[in-house]
Amino acid sequence: MNVLMIYPEFPDTFWSFKHALKFIHKKASSPPLGLATVAAMLPSDWKIRLIDVNVSELHNKDICWADLVFVSAMVVQRSSAVEIMRRCKSLGKVIIAGGPLFTSEYNLFPEVDYFVLNEAELTLPMFLADYKSKNLRRIYKTDQFCDLTLTPIPRWDIVEISKYDSMSIQFSRGCPYNCEFCNVTALLGHKPRVKTTEQILSELDAIYSLGWRRNIFFVDDNFIGNKKILKQEILPALIEWRKGKTGCRFITEASINLADDKELMNMMVQAGFTSVFVGIETPDENSLVECNKTQNKNRNLIESVKTLQKEGLQVMAGFIVGFDNDTPTIFQRQIEFIQKSGIVTAMVGLLQAPYGTRLYNRLKSEGRLIEEMTGDNTDGTTNILPVMDVSLLKKGYLHILEQIYSPQLFYDRVKNFLSEYKPPKLKVHLQFAEIVAFFQSIIKLGIFSRERRYYWQLFFWTLSRCPEKFHLAITFSIYGYHFRQVNAKTSSAIHA
């Protein structure tokens, strides 16, 4: 049996980092962890190829080779997924689809022959059994949640890892919180389910044995959902695993209450975590109450961010405008918050209502859902009818983007961050691509750019004030270039 796995293309978005990745000659941020994991669940005698359209071209000969085509996608990959599936169908192929896009909206894709939805650990065996007995159903889904201790090590041997900036690993699924706009709990439940320490170490060993010495992203939606197991088992094991090893810095996502636990922060830094994504959403308490962001309420959010930074964790953060409680003052408040916090990588989006969320159900009952969601909440679109005038909302949103990623404010924010950030002492593996990126930044940003004055100010400011953080100054300068390219596209779309 020949199986072709296809991962559709991501559009040019905030998190794609396409413009930044060109500096280090990488094609995409991370490989498709889901497909690599599903590949490990297929019969061992099946021949498997994986083509990530973000890094490789999909040829008709690849499609013709396959007996079955597996497609997995998120909502933001919808357009590419549809084009790929129509192409496969025109060549007479059987299509099996899964992942968040199809789990939420499987009824919208007539091209798909069979849907394997929810968690593949549960639904894929059902499909395989029926495929063997030639008694197939079109839809395989479940409302149960799987035991992650049964999840196999992903098949990284079918992935061209050299084309990526980061590898991926998953410790847990599910989140204890219930934010109104988030579909994590709808898809994966409230109770965090976890892998064993042995599983995590085996996966890390598999990645390290491939020669990987760069970032590894723990893709958990809330890494600290089960603090007890982290402190007692996982982090001590990671700290021990790192001994004698170079590189492999860890990145993850966590709720802001991580800042309340000094022991946990210290252990994460010792284990090799350097960055954490946090959902800040808004500095407005009323809007936090509205979206049930309980973990963010009644705290000084800026101080929480500063605490994480001082403990050695870079903070990336998501922000949202368009809540029912938002007034026109929110736009300037968001700008001031982002600047004061020193959050360099600040993603600001318009509120959207993903299918299956409490927000979606509430707005549907109120008749306030207006169009299909793009899955990219930074493209200036929204699938809801907001309380605020739409034109005012989009104008204010655009003002935020134009301000926080203007060269002056962006480079000021980098200085703010570097002034307080305490970098962990980790053995790093400097790669040739990073040296090339440094010289490319000088040419592209320091010579042929309108922002060159700010680039050189940061360049020499860092060398004189905190030379040990110089690599971060260059990295963030490159990030800023990417963000400005994406924002220019968003601005054009809003003005169109």
Q: Are 176 and 192 in contact (CB under 8 A)?
A: yes
How far is the C-alpha of 33 from the C-alpha of 195, rounded, in Å?
A: 15
Is residue 59 exposed (0-12), middle (13-18) or buried (19+ Cβ within 10 Å)?
Answer: exposed
Same domain? 102 vs 217: no
Distances, alpha carbon 344 to alpha carbons 274, 347, 416, 456, in Å: 14, 9, 9, 18
Secondary structure class of 275 (helix, strand, coil): strand
Nearest 5°: the CA angle 118, 120, 122 is 85
Residues 81 and 39 in one domain: yes
Q: How confident is the chain (496 residues) per 10-residue block, as mean pLDDT?
A: 98 95 96 98 98 98 98 96 98 97 92 97 98 97 96 98 97 95 90 96 97 95 96 98 88 98 97 97 97 96 98 97 98 98 97 94 96 86 96 96 97 97 79 92 96 97 96 97 94 83
**For residue 275, with 0-12 CB atoms within 10 Å meaning exposed, 13-18 middle and 19 or more buried, which class applies?**
middle
Q: Judge whether 200 lies within some domain.
A: yes
Residue 146 placed within a domain? no
Task: Find, among 411, 410, 389, 392, the residue nearest to 401 by Cα.
Answer: 410
Q: In this structure, are 95 and 200 located in the same domain?
A: no
pLDDT attached to residue 428: 66
How buried is 5 (Cβ within 10 angstroms: 0-12 exposed, 13-18 middle, 19+ buried)?
buried
Which residues make Cβ contacts (< 8 Å) with residue 490, sequence separation at least 6?
Answer: 378, 379, 380, 398, 401
Q: Are residues 181 and 116 in the same domain?
A: no
Q: Is 390 exposed, middle or buried (0-12, 13-18, 19+ CB in 10 A)?
A: middle
What interhelical angle do 235-242 and 262-271 show, nearest 10?
A: 30
pLDDT at 430: 74
For residue 295, what is the domain's CATH number?
3.20.20.70
Please indicate, yes or no, if residue 495 is contained in any of the structural domains: no
Q: Of 397, 420, 443, which one is at a domain's C-terminal end?
A: 420
Q: What is the pLDDT at residue 105?
A: 87
Give the C-alpha separation, 228 to 5, whole Å. Answer: 37
Report the alpha-carbon distance of residue 113 to residue 244 in Å, rounded.
Answer: 49
> Do the domain assignments include residue 155?
no
Whether 470 maps to a domain, the answer reads: yes
Q: Identify whether residues 246 and 136 lie together within a single domain.
A: no
Please tell me whether residues 388 and 466 are part of one structural domain: no
169 falls within a domain: yes
Distance from the Cα of residue 85 to its chain's centroid = 24
List the domain range (segments joined by +) for residue 96: 2-140
Specify the pLDDT at position 414: 98
For residues 441 and 411, membership in a common domain is answered with: no
Among 420, 448, 465, the domain-final residue is 420
Which among 420, 441, 464 is the end of a domain? 420
CATH at residue 100 = 3.40.50.280
Q: Residue 484 has what DSSP assignment? A: H
Rg of the chain taking only CA atoms, in angstroms: 22
SS3 state of residue 173:
strand
User: Can you say whether residue 67 is alpha, beta or left, with left for phi > 0 and alpha for psi between -120 and 50 degrees?
Assistant: alpha
Do 132 and 177 share a structural domain? Answer: no
**DSSP 3-state of 346:** strand
> Is 173 part of any domain?
yes
Burial of 320 (0-12, 13-18, 19+ CB in 10 A): buried
Measure the CA angle with vertex 311, ends 307 and 312; round to 5°.
120
Are 389 and 451 members of one domain? Answer: no
Position 121 in a domain: yes
Domain count, the chain: 3
Same domain, 437 and 412: no
d(CA 173, CA 192): 5
Tell me, yes or no, whether 340 and 477 share the same domain.
Answer: no
Residues 71 and 174 in one domain: no
